A and B are shown apart, each in its own frame.
Chain A
Amino acid sequence: MEGLKARAASMAWVAGALLLGHGRAQETSKASSVAAPGSTLKDWSFTLQKAGKVQARFKGSRAMPAGARVFDVENLHVDTFTPDGEAQITAESPACRVLVTNEAFVITSPGPVRITHADGRFAVAGVGFRWDHGAGRLSISNRVETTARVRLPMAGPQPRPQ
């Protein structure tokens, strides 16, 4: 009897999640789609699509559903992609909260984060961050250290003689 109740609760959760998702955010992990709130998912993964194209892939060693399309994730690894399918930004965080909306996501954490641009142009690390992919904004609040492979503006070799 208890088993049947638990199964019914799980099915209700899945139905709710699918209704809210409008079929655009696709969960690729079977484990995550059968989880009820309060449960823990191991080797969690999630793929976010827009117009049939992959926008982001999420992976975490563990994830705990914290509401409709909200997950508290441990050891998160996210890869985002441009509309052309090119790799864009990668982020890693030991613990954070992921909110997936219809076509985007928001990740927040008071803890450490490391972010790298796919073309190697920059890598940035710090503590406390918010990544709103829908708005295209990333921010880190504390102790930010950035390494950038950019050419700073520099002068030409010689000035012309007077």
Chain B
Amino acid sequence: MKKLLSRTACVAVAVGLALAEEAQPPVQIKSGTWEFDYQTGTQHYWGDVEVTLPGLLRLSCMDLVTVQQSSTNRPDALLATTNVVIEITRPAQRPGETPLVLKAYGDRAVYTATNELVTLTGSDPRIVAPQGTTRGKVITYDLGTGRIRASGGHVSELNIDVVKAMRRTNAAPATATSKDGAAPGGR
């Protein structure tokens, strides 16, 4: 059952992110201050930074650095620090369905294009999904595979409603923990 839950959460995250990519409108960024080094392609935003991809993605932090080569429209690297909150919304697919919202928290979020990894670290980094919450000292999300891995005191807290639904067909504990970093959404 743990595997099933993990797979469900993983699919939800991946589908939500994929939808965001397909329909990407312009990204809005608000900040107190902005600096652009157009020789290196580095943009630095600081002071109550809010990144919004309307209806799909919100990121807030105190400091954000992006590095982008001029030949692409994708950032090579992103570094968000201090009170990082990433919120991903998957729009409802059918009438009456509620949008799926996933939130990631950390003091520091790093994305590198070379390996397509987003790494959350800092004080109590976690990913909160309707299925439950994944915690660990380091949480890594692989954008290429959709894998979420948590290491260092990893804890997965499953939503009790999900557990109840699962108990109808299979008994399950309300909280699952592991030491190796397998997380809801991980493989």
Q: Which A residues are within 8 Å of any B CB, using their own CB? A: 88-89, 121, 124, 126, 136-162
Give the CA-CA distance A145 to B33 in the complex, in Å: 9
9 additional contacts, CB 8 Å, given A144-B33, A147-B26?
A124-B36, A136-B39, A138-B35, A140-B34, A142-B33, A146-B29, A150-B75, A152-B27, A157-B15
Question: A126 with B34: in contact, given A151-B24, A162-B3 (CB under 8 Å)?
Answer: yes
A159 touches B36 (CB 8 A): no
In the complex the two chains form, is B147's CB within 8 Å of A159's CB? yes
Cβ B20 vs Cβ A154 within 8 A: yes
**Which of B36, B75, B116, B147 interacts with A139 by CB under 8 Å?**
B36
| Cβ–Cβ < 8 Å partners of B26 in chain A | 147-149
Q: How far is the CA of A138 from the CA of B31 in the complex (A)?
A: 15
Chain A neighbourhood of B14, CB < 8 A: 155-159
Q: How far is the CB of B15 from chain A (nearest CB, A)?
A: 7
Q: Give B25's nearest chain A residue, CB to CB.
A: A149
A121 to B52, CA, bound (A): 16
23 contacts between A and B (CB under 8 A): A88-B38, A136-B37, A137-B35, A137-B38, A138-B36, A139-B34, A145-B30, A146-B27, A146-B45, A148-B27, A149-B73, A152-B27, A152-B51, A152-B53, A153-B111, A153-B116, A154-B18, A154-B20, A154-B21, A156-B18, A156-B144, A159-B147, A162-B3
Chain A residues within an 8 Å CB radius of B32 = 142-144
Query: Could you tell me which B residues sit within 8 Å of A by CB distance?
Result: 3, 6-7, 10-11, 13-15, 17-18, 20-21, 24, 26-40, 45, 51, 53, 57, 68, 73-75, 78, 111, 113, 116, 118, 141, 143-147, 185, 187
A154, B146: Cα distance in complex, Å: 10
Contacts of B143 in A (CB 8 A): 153-156
Complex CA–CA separation, A51 to B173 (angstroms): 73
Closest to A154 in B: B21
What A residues does B116 contact at CB under 8 A? 153
Verify B39–A158 contact, CB threshold 8 A: no
Neighbour of A144 across the interface among B17, B20, B34, CB < 8 A: B34
Q: Are B118 and A153 in contact (CB under 8 A)?
A: yes
Closest to B49 in A: A144
Whether the pair B13, A150 counts as a contact (CB closer than 8 A) is no
Report yes or no: A151 in contact with B38, Cβ–Cβ below 8 A.
Answer: no
Contact residues in B for A89 (Cβ distance below 8 Å): 38
Contact residue among B34, B118, B144, B187 (Cβ-Cβ distance under 8 Å from A162): B187
Q: Are B145 and A156 in contact (CB under 8 A)?
A: yes
* B36 & A145 in contact (Cβ 8 Å cutoff): no
Contact partner of B29 (CB less than 8 A), chosen from A145, A151, A154, A155, is A145
Interface centre among B20, B35, B45 (most CB of A within 10 A): B35
Residues of A within 8 A of B29 (CB): 144-148
Complex Cα–Cα for A76 and B46 (A): 27
Partner of A151, one of B3, B34, B74, B141: B74
- Tell me the nearest residue of chain A to B141, going by C-beta: A155
A144→B30 contact, CB < 8 A: yes
A140 and B45 CA atoms in complex are apart in Å by 10
CA distance A142 to B11 in the complex (A): 40
Give the chain B neighbours of A154 by CB distance below 8 A: 17-18, 20-21, 143
Chain B residues within an 8 Å CB radius of A150:
27, 68, 73-75
